Structure 1
Amino acid sequence: MQRFTVVLIVLFFVQIFANALVFLNEPETRLSLEWHQTQFKISVFQPFVHPVVPIDWLLPKENRDLLKGLVSVESNFYVHALSVEGAMGLAQFVPSTAEKLGVLNPFNAFWAMDGANRYLEQLQRQFKSIEYALAGYFEGPSKIAKYGPSSAAIEYARKVLRSAERLKGETIFVKDVTYIEPYVLVGDRFALGLNVYASFLGTSYLSGGIQLDDWKKLSHRVLFYPAITHSFSLIVGERNFNFTVGALYRKMPNFGVQFLLDSNNLDLEALLRVWKFYITTGFSLKGFRVGLIGGM
């Protein structure tokens, strides 16, 4: 009985953090292998990029067409777009610009569009020109003010304006991603399970799962992640009807750490990107595990 309890608790925390919330910006199929105590887990993370809502629902009337062209060029309407320079979300804010605009979470589609609209209005007031405002959006207003726009910035501005004209009147949907993770556990017990990781336009996330042990016992969990910033989320939910709280800190796509607390256990888990792979580790009051996630 004691061994069964240990295995069950370890299975719960294994399900949670080898999860997709750290690599939402790179929606691709991944294989996960995990080793721990008396079990071995094989799972596949399968993303589904899907339309959510028309971009017009998120845009103000005054700059709607211009913002639609800007988002098309910057992120191709993908909520969790992330550039190699660290620009985030639909509007591709770098951290310093997001901070100046008061946008705590650039992946939040509502905050991103509000921030982009206010930023463009500031730039238009400063430069008295839409083309120069867009150039300032591209390479920074201080550089434009001091040196004028570069040829790359002018080309960027014209590309946005062409996209704005081309998309005028069209219904374009914002895209987000949902991951499903079917898995099998083998060892002293056999189990099948399915986890789902869903994003709600970057405002929050939902992680849920069910598991069938030895074709007899069904376990479940539902965890809700309200995103406070682009890096930090609170966690509240249940695991087999045990009230669960916690927090997630992530640095997409390279690092994440999470803790969960319920009436039975305390879990601490981490994920680290090394080259094209992710190394996962976890520790609870009842055990330790390690895993590897790679592309397929």
Structure 2
Amino acid sequence: MKRFFFLIFLFISIFSFSEKIDIYNKIFYKPGLHMELYTDSMFLNFEYTFLGKYSYMSSSELLNYVWSQDRKLIGGQMYVESNYYTHAISSSHAVGLLQLKPIVAQDFGIHNLFNPIDNLTGAAAYHSYLYKIFQSEKQQIAAYYQGPTSVLKRGINSSGLNYYKKVKKAQKFYKNTEIYSPFLIGINGKVSLNYFELNTYSGLAYKNFEVYSTQNLSFIKENYSTKFNKLNITYGLMYFPKSDFSIGSSYGNNLNLYLRLGYPWSQNILSLNNLKFMNSYYLNIEYKNGIWIKSYIDDKFIFITGFSVYDIKFGIILNSDYRIGIYMSL
């Protein structure tokens, strides 16, 4: 059934694929409904994106890749760390099912932390390393959260002890469940007195691949009547071999190559038109203190910056037409 679902989605993607390159960052949003509104002196822009979860595989099937640790321990820890979600990202930039940080993954030769098998393999290797140091399951589990250097120097602190208790409780009650990966659906558009544009899109992540689909419609109002302006349809696929690198291509009006560089909290996305010259660029940077920056470059330039309060973003916009606007996202 899962393979059938994926094949249906892949079939849909053959008919349309987004050229609005910031969609390739949205797959890393937290599950739930997200809204963006921004305006300047000419256009009102709106966007609604829903991030959901689909069943990727069973946890017992995934845990077959674990040999060096108690499988129920790792199964319980997945619940504590990510609630069985492959694309979970913490505020401290730990990633995936078992919330490994990129620097730890690099030490164990793990390439894609969003791939559940890679993430699990890295976590199991890290557990083995910690047990080799401490020769104690309690210190091993606490050090996974607290950090091995901290445990060696100061022993298990209150947060490490609390984490150990959570994991052991989850281990006790662990049962086979589903592992989930993200899908998204959304709609965006912009409105002025004489112009209306609407885009719908969808996408999902599957192993080291991502597929998306988008339909773009625009209308122009002239002489008190509304006329159809254009319809854009393209298609393609993104390959995701590393946590900080993806490559993809699309074909519609032009053949485009896409490069996504960096982690979701500090990411660059480039689009090369006909594989020769850059026709669009997207930059997203999110700092731990709540300050963030977005930048879009295609036929025009848009720069957005602001601050976050919990999961709500407030900002200002400057574009190449010298218009200043306000931005809000939640």
User: Normalising to structure 1: TM-score of the pair?
Assistant: 0.78
Equivalent in the alignment of 2:329: 295
Q: Which residue type is aligned with residue 300 of structure 2?
A: F
1:251 is matched with which residue?
A: 263
Following superposition of structure 1 onto structure 2, how do residues 108-119 of structure 1 map, counting pairs within 5 Å? 108-119=115-126
Q: What corresponds to 2:4 in structure 1?
A: none
Separation (CA, whole Å) in 2 of partners of 1:208 and 1:194 = 8
Pair 1:49 & 2:53 matched = yes
**Which of residues 230, 234, 242 is equivalent to 2:243?**
230
AA in 1 matched with 2:211: L
Residue 83 to residue 28, structure 1, CA distance change in 2 (3 Å): same
| Contact persistence 2:295–2:303 (CA under 8 A) | yes
Report which of the two has the higher share of helix: 1
Q: Whole-Å Cα distance in 1 between the matches of residues 148 and 103 of structure 2?
A: 13
Q: Give the Cα–Cα distance (whole angstroms) in 2 for the partners of residues 154 and 234 of structure 1.
A: 42
Corresponding residue for residue 204 of structure 1: 209
Aligned to 1:269: 281
How many residues are treated as equivalent by the alignment? Answer: 276
Partner of 2:90: 83
Counterpart check, 1:182 vs 2:202: no
1:134 CA displacement: 0.9
2:93 alignment partner, SS class: coil
Q: Which residue of 2 aligns with 1:144?
A: 151
Aligned partners of 1:146 and 1:192: how far apart in 2?
A: 58
How far 1:49 sits from its partner (Å)? 3.0
Identity %: 20
Q: Note if contact 2:22-2:269 (Cα within 8 Å) is conserved in structure 1.
A: no
Give the structure, 1 or 2, with the largest relative contact order (CA under 8 Å, sep 6 or more).
1
Moved more, 203-212 or 112-121: 203-212
The letter of the residue matching 2:132 is R
- 1:260 is aligned, of 268, 271, 288, to 271
Query: Residue 200 of structure 2 corresponds to which residue in structure 1?
Result: 194
Supply the AA of the counterpart residue of 1:125.
K
SS of equivalent residue, structure 1 residue 227 = strand
- State the Cα deviation string for residues 241-290 of structure 1 (Å, max 9, x = none): x332120124323x43211123396323224357587644222xxx2143
Structure 1 residues 186, 239: CA separation in 2 closer, same or farther (over 3 Å shift)? Answer: farther
How many Å apart are 1:139 and its aligned residue?
A: 2.0
Query: Greater CA deviation, 262-271 or 219-228?
Result: 262-271
* Aligned-residue offset at 1:92: 1.0
- Give CA-to-partner distance per residue, 1:150-192, whole Å, 9 cap, x none: 343233222211101101xx22212222221223355666443
Contact 1:20 1:45 in 2 (8 A): no
Secondary structure at 1:257 match in 2: strand
Q: Which runs of 5+ in 1 are unaligned?
A: 1-11
CA separation of 1:267 and 1:55: change in aligned 2, threshold 3 A: farther
How large is the Cα RMSD of the aligned pairs?
3.3
> Structure 1 counterpart of 2:329, which letter?
G
2:155 and 2:59 map into 1 onto residues whose CA distance is 32
Instruction: Give the corresponding residue for 2:101.
Output: 94
* Separation in structure 1 between the aligned mates of residue 66 and residue 50 of structure 2, nearest angstrom: 37
Question: Structure 1 residues 40 and 280 mapped into 2: Cα distance closer, same or farther (>3 Å)?
Answer: farther
